[in-house]
Structure 1
Amino acid sequence: MKVLKRFLPLGLIVLAVSACSNPAADYDVQEVVNSANEQWNAAFNDNDLDSLVELYASQATLSPGNGKVLNGQQEIAALFQGFFENGLHNHQIDTISTYSSDGQISQLANWSADVEAEDGQTLTFQGVLMTVLQQNDAGDWEVVSHIWNMAE
């Protein structure tokens, strides 16, 4: 549970979406974000580490709210593996706002996730997250930056 509490600011959120291979001007921002959130939540809630990590660019950065920055898919995978081992589940993302420019979308959102405590009670963690999706040369969307915090 220590690993969980230390890194739990899991506003984890959003992800590599192969939603659109059209030129950057031809995408619907809300559709891309909704699809990314659905894919991210599904991979996380299914404990599908491979699918979850593939949503991130190879050199993506992630800060889990502890003042540190993880670099690349390998470090990101290790963090999520710890969450899975500690039973974190039922992750949800509720978008507050989106911001976009040519080939890049940022999302501000609330997040929540549950874990079973040692006494059997369900604890819900929540916070705010920010993700940056970028459209790569193939037209696919991938997470290039992901930051979250956790409410007390």
Structure 2
Amino acid sequence: MTPLRVATLATCIALLMPIAVQAGSLEEDVSAAYAEWDAAFNESDAKSLATFYTEDTLFLPASHDIIKGPSGVEEFFAGLFANGVTGHKLELIEATSEGELVVSAAKWSAEGKDDAGAPATFSGIATHVFKKQDDGSLRLKVHTFN
């Protein structure tokens, strides 16, 4: 291999390395945010859960309601908790970022009761748009699921 090819290859590898590290870090950050969100959910703590959302959040649940702001999110989840929904788990599918926004998709599942009152597992897909905060944390700006 010629010295020019070696230098070109080394430059290409050096340019790709920060991208790979950043992608892994992004996935770790989103997975950590999911773990914290799940922990608050599984404590049935609607007030704590609402702190994961920005003041201008748009929350679009499968009920087709349009909910704005943390207080609306808190009210929605308080209703779920009153009905015994628990055991929530988010599993990251993919995440990408641009500027201060992070977009991610996840599989979700939760435990509850069906219409007859029998134990049931619910699941679906969620889409999240996080806004990076000054301290590096992620808060939900848009959250929708089916």
Select 2:42's aligned residue among 23, 42, 45. Answer: 45
Letter of the 2:33 partner, please give it.
A
Q: Distance in 2 between matches of 1:108 and 1:117?
A: 26
Deviation at 1:43, TM superposition (A): 0.1
Instruction: Number of aligned residue pairs: give it.
Output: 124
Distance of aligned partners of 1:95 and 1:140 in 2 relative to their CA distance in 1, 3 Å threshold:
closer
Structure 1 position 95, deviation (Å): 1.2
Structure 2: tracts of 5 or more residues without a match: 1-21
The structure with the largest alpha-carbon Rg is 2
Quickly say closer, same or farther: Cα 1:125–1:30, change in 2 above 3 A: same
Tell me which protein shows more helix as a share of its residues: 2
Q: Secondary structure at 1:67's aligned position in 2?
A: coil
Please give the TM-score of this superposition, normalised by the length of structure 2: 0.77
- Say if 1:118 and 1:65 are closer, same or farther in 2 by CA, change over 3 A: closer
Question: Shift in Å at residue 96 of structure 1?
Answer: 1.1
Identity %: 28
Hey, what does 1:90 align to over in structure 2? 87
Q: Deviations over 1:1-52 (max 9, x none)?
A: xxxxxxxxxxxxxxxxxxxxxxxxx792111111110001000000112211
Matches of 2:87 and 2:55 in 1, distance apart? 26
Displaced runs of 4 or more, over 4 A: 117-120
Q: Which residue is 1:58 aligned to? A: 55
More relative contact order in 1 or in 2 (CA 8 Å, sep 6+)? 1
Q: Which runs of 5+ in 1 are unaligned?
A: 1-25
Q: TM-score, normalization: structure 1?
A: 0.74
